[in-house]
Amino acid sequence: MPPQKGPWSRNRRHSRANWSSYGFVAVVVVGAFFLALNWPLGTPSAVATAPLVEIAQPQSNSSTPNADDFSCDVDYVHDGDTLRCRDGTRVRLHAVAAREADGSCAPGHPCPAASAETATRELRRLADGKSINCRPTGRSYNRITAICWTPEGVEINCAMIESGAAVIWDRFNRQNPLCAA
């Protein structure tokens, strides 16, 4: 006569299988999340749903106008790489990394030697109160990432790098290079 299995042995085995399934599902969900977060985006509708990724667009970086270019009357400079236009548009300088307003550097971001005050002061000198022209390159945290020019034709992104107030962010610069005439 074969040994009889009690009611607990089946439930215990079934319970282990459920936990294994939950673990597998959790790994798949987390993997899908990170894959979606880093997936290369190329359509305008996808840009609005993925605010953490800057998107490269094949464009020249010259100050020659493009259809997507926009004018920004600079109302406020937040820090060394972010400003706000009078119409409320928030602009993040493409491929430029400056210290945060509190002087810190975000994990995984390039960290310049210049202080946050130095970078903010330099961006104010270049853009504050001026009507600048910008070429969008993508989106980041509900901001438009862009390459911008002063009314005199100075590329602000490049000027921030050349001044030493900020450093170039190679990952994004490879997509749409700065300092190109």
77-134 pLDDT tens trace: 999 999 999 999 999 999 898 998 899 988 888 888 899 999 999 999 999 999 999 9
The answer to whether 98 touches 80, Cβ cutoff 8 Å, is yes
Does a structural domain hold residue 76?
yes
Domain range for residue 125? Answer: 70-173
Residue 99 within a domain: yes
Q: Does some domain include residue 34?
A: no
Q: What average pLDDT does the structure give for the chain? A: 77
| pLDDT value of position 38 | 59
DSSP 8-state assignment for residue 135: E
Asked whether residue 23 is domain-assigned, the answer is no
Q: Judge whether 98 lies within some domain.
A: yes
Cα(94)–Cα(3) distance, integer angstroms: 71
- Give the 3-state secondary structure of 39-76: CCCCCHHHHHHCCCCCCCCCCCCCCCCCCCCEEEEEEE
pLDDT digits (tens, 9 = 90+) for 122-135: 999 999 999 999 99
Instruction: Identify residue 163 by its one-letter amino acid code.
Output: S
Kindly state the tokens that stand for 1: 């006569």
| Dihedral (CA of 108, 111, 117, 122) sign | negative
The single-letter code of the amino acid at 75 is D
Tell me if residue 107 falls in helix, strand or coil: coil
Helix (H, G, I), strand (E, B) or coil at 19: helix
Q: For residue 11, is it left (φ>0), alpha (ψ between -120 and 50) or beta?
A: alpha
Domain at 101, CATH number? 2.40.50.90
Please report whether residue 55 resides in a domain: no
Span 156-174, pLDDT tens digits: 999 999 999 998 887 787 7
Tokens matching residue 2: 């074969």
Q: For residues 171 and 109, what is the distance between their CA atoms, to the nearest angstrom?
A: 10
148 residue type, one letter:
C
Phi, psi (deg, nearest 5) at residue 20: -65, -40
Instruction: Report yes or no on 141 lying in a domain.
Output: yes
CB 136 within 8 A of CB 82: no
pTM > 0.95: yes or no? no
Residue 30 lies in a domain: no
Instruction: Give me the number of domains the chain comprises.
Output: 1
